Amino acid sequence: MEDAKGKLLESINNPDDLKKISVDQLEDVCQELRDYIIDVVSTNPGHFGASLGVVELTVALHYVYNAPYDQLVWDVGHQAYGHKILTGRKNQFDTNRKYKGLSGFPKRTESEYDAFGVGHSSTSISAALGMAIASRIKGEEERKVVAVIGDGAMTGGMAFEALNNAGGENADILVILNDNNMAIDPSVGGLNKYLLNISKSDTYNRMKHDVWEGLGKLDGFGKKARRFIQKNQHALKNMILKENNLFEAFNFRYFGPIDGHDVRYLTSALNDLKDIPGPKLLHVITQKGKGFKQAEQDQTKWHAPGIFDKETGEIYKCDCKADQAPKFQNVFGDTLVELAEKNDKIVGITPAMPTGCSMNKMIEQMPGRAFDVGIAEQHAVTFSAGLAAQGMVPFCNIYSTFMQRAYDQVIHDVAIQKLPVIFCLDRGGLVGEDGPTHHGVFDMAYMRSVPNMIVSAPMDEIELRNLMYTAQLGEINQPFSIRYPRGCGIITDWKKEFEKIEIGKGRKLNDGSDVALLSIGKTGIFAQLAVKSLAKNDISAAHYDMRFVKPLDTEMLTKVMQNFDQIVTIEDGTIQGGFGSAILEFMAENGFTNKIKILGIPDQFIEHGTPEELYRECGIDAQGIVDTVKQLVGKTKAI
């Protein structure tokens, strides 16, 4: 991809090279950087709109600050592609999110310029504060620390906890609020309205611009006057906006809002802010997808569009396989609406992922009964608990990896009170190219350890549909977890009549005599393929789809233990404490000594790659199951 880089970008291998370029050339650098991101991501899919929106900010930060000595912390990391390109990874950028290639997020082990590993939102201010305090303790007075956080991530409670702490400590930290009125979907809530009021105050912004430009034309006195206004502008804001500034209430000096696509002005403002001590917040207005027309117009669709034509904007990504089996998330979204039409107590809740989890279907059709609460998983769970306490039937849909952030609320606010909240955990298991920060491999282990919790995982679309139906019948007065994978299922004709599933009951899918395969969730699909392959090798494998991790089907398990010496458990979750561990506990409690092999995610963080590559690495794909069974039963005939 050498020909894709512009002449200026070609000469930049690190931030020191960038600093050799004149301020007058920075706009050209930004254009070349934006073009390069478009060129690479169009053929190697990744997060698109977020990085385009911060090109100018990224260039300005690396032009002004002395990274890696100065610490630049990116919140979430969707927007860090430009940062990676400018910090020595330009020629490897076409491996981004590929197996054994660059991570799609900042990662400390990948580069010294990645000050903090990220992937989940709202962490940047806390991390930056820790770094700033460490620098204070070590006497590193010249080191600067900057956190870049979006308006969507700012809705997370952790961000406000950090602001409160940083203001109280009077820490020397700069928080840059990258305000584009978007998370993945449009930002919501009171904070969003507050930021819009600030950014759209024509009176204040016009006066600020006119005064600033006028002072800049004055020799000598002008620069001092500018700094005086920077340090005291809150009084001007309060007078014009007729309200106190939220961030100044946290003891942060607030600057802005300014145009986040004016790279010259950004570099000037950042240079001035370097000399101002204490906690500061710079409010920057940007446009997600800036510089690519289609991404500007449909920012949700172009958050991560897949492969596309960079000239026409046509997206080539196929949503599902040719047989048109639906995505699990769409089965959830359609089924939720169907159930809600029949049960007026059903309410939908999602923390800022309505499109990703297909809750948008219910939000559009029943806006008073479905809620996007912003990036606030803890609140989403306790909000759901409050609804359940008043007799509603909340379907709380959270990605498995993000549910980890609300674990205390699951225990304290839901399970202890035995409230019937239905947790629908999307993206359960290995999710692919987003890597370890997004793999949903812990939920079966952490959910099954909670008293009063039902833990289930459907193998296919029909099972998901029926588990959702069963959970909302009102017959179970306790929390119910349903986890399902990212991507498409295997059944095209999935809209069947609802059937109640007996809690804690599995199903036998294949008879066999040599070995028993016990699967949970999506791994049942792999087990089915393995059964066919093993039969070609004269190995007779029985297959049981257990459906529930808690409670287990003890009657079925007893029969399995009595009839099979060799047993293999398969899960798309962590081995430690997961489904296989539950089977071992059952065996120990009941005196069974069968030979058992547990297949799942090992005790390590799995890196990024396609799901197929990662399943193979962990040995839970069809071939991995076949290899394990052949070794277990002592047969080595080749397939």
Joined tokens for residue 104? 């799609």
Q: What is the CATH number of domain 507-633?
A: 3.40.50.920
* Out of 96-110, 200-214, 242-256, least confident range: 200-214
pLDDT for the residue 50: 92
- Crossing angle, helix 622-633 and helix 611-618, to 10 degrees? 10
pLDDT for the residue 239: 46
The fraction of the chain above a pLDDT of 90, given in percent, is: 80
pLDDT for the residue 635: 54
pLDDT for the residue 233: 53
Please say whether the beta carbons of 293 and 313 come within 8 A: yes
Q: Which CATH entry fits the domain spanning 7-297: 2.20.28.120, 3.30.750.24, 3.40.50.1360, 3.40.50.970?
A: 3.40.50.970
Give the mean model confidence (pLDDT) for residues 360-389.
95
Query: Is 259 among the annotated ligand-binding positions?
Result: no
The pLDDT-based confidence of 575 (bands split at 50, 70, 90) is very high
* Out of 109-113, 299-303, 390-394, 627-631, least confident range: 299-303
The pLDDT-based confidence of 503 (bands split at 50, 70, 90) is very high
Give the mean model confidence (pLDDT) for residues 589-615.
97
Burial per residue of 505-526, b for 16 or more beta-carbon CB atoms within 10 angstroms, e otherwise: ebeebbebebbbbbbbbbbbbb
Query: Is 94 among the annotated ligand-binding positions?
Result: no
Give the mean model confidence (pLDDT) for residues 315-320.
68
pLDDT for the residue 186: 63
Catalytic positions are 288, 377, 405
* Out of 1-5, 244-248, 289-293, 488-492, least confident range: 1-5
Query: Strands 566-574 and 595-601, how do they pair?
Result: parallel
- Interatomic CA distance for residues 212 and 230, integer angstroms: 10
* Out of 114-118, 217-221, 304-308, 394-398, least confident range: 217-221
Give the mean model confidence (pLDDT) for residues 100-108.
95
pLDDT for the residue 185: 59
321 pLDDT more than 70: no
The predicted-structure confidence for 138-185, as pLDDT tens digits, reads as follows 999 999 999 999 998 998 899 999 999 999 999 999 999 999 886 555
Query: Is 377 among the annotated ligand-binding positions?
Result: yes
Please say whether the beta carbons of 53 and 95 come within 8 A: no
Query: Is 292 among the annotated ligand-binding positions?
Result: yes
- Interatomic CA distance for residues 309 and 78, integer angstroms: 21
- Interatomic CA distance for residues 290 and 138, integer angstroms: 40
The runs of H, that is alpha helices, within 421-553 are 443-448, 461-471, 523-535
pLDDT for the residue 6: 81
Query: Is 62 among the annotated ligand-binding positions?
Result: no
Query: Is 412 among the annotated ligand-binding positions?
Result: no
The predicted-structure confidence for 453-491, as pLDDT tens digits, reads as follows 999 999 999 999 999 999 999 998 999 999 999 999 899
Query: Is 152 among the annotated ligand-binding positions?
Result: yes
Q: What's the whole-number average pLDDT of the chain? A: 90
Strand, coil or helix: what is 390?
Answer: coil
Give the mean model confidence (pLDDT) for residues 394-413.
97
Please say whether the beta carbons of 177 and 284 come within 8 A: yes
* Out of 222-236, 340-354, 377-391, least confident range: 222-236
The predicted-structure confidence for 337-362, as pLDDT tens digits, reads as follows 999 999 999 999 999 889 999 999 99
**Contacts for 367 with CB less than 8 Å, ≥ 6 apart:** none
- Crossing angle, helix 461-471 and helix 328-342, to 10 degrees? 30
- Interatomic CA distance for residues 302 and 121, integer angstroms: 19
The pLDDT-based confidence of 207 (bands split at 50, 70, 90) is very low
626 pLDDT more than 90: yes
Query: Is 261 among the annotated ligand-binding positions?
Result: no
The runs of H, that is alpha helices, within 146-201 are 157-169, 190-199
Residue 506's nearest CA partner among 475, 541, 544 is 544
Give the mean model confidence (pLDDT) for residues 433-450.
96
Count of alpha carbons within 13 angstroms of residue 462, beta-carbon side: 12
Class of 328-483 in CATH: alpha beta
Which residue ranges make up each domain of the chain? 7-297, 328-483, 507-633
Give the mean model confidence (pLDDT) for residues 372-378.
93
Phi and psi, residue 625, nearest 5°: -65, -45
Output 311 or 386, whichever has higher pLDDT: 386
Query: In Å, how far are 571, 592, 594 from 588, measured between CA atoms?
Result: 20, 6, 10
pLDDT for the residue 237: 53
DSSP classification of residue 627: H
Output 193 or 505, whichever has higher pLDDT: 505
- Interatomic CA distance for residues 255 and 266, integer angstroms: 12
Domains 328-483 and 507-633 share a fold: yes
Output 5 or 11, whichever has higher pLDDT: 11
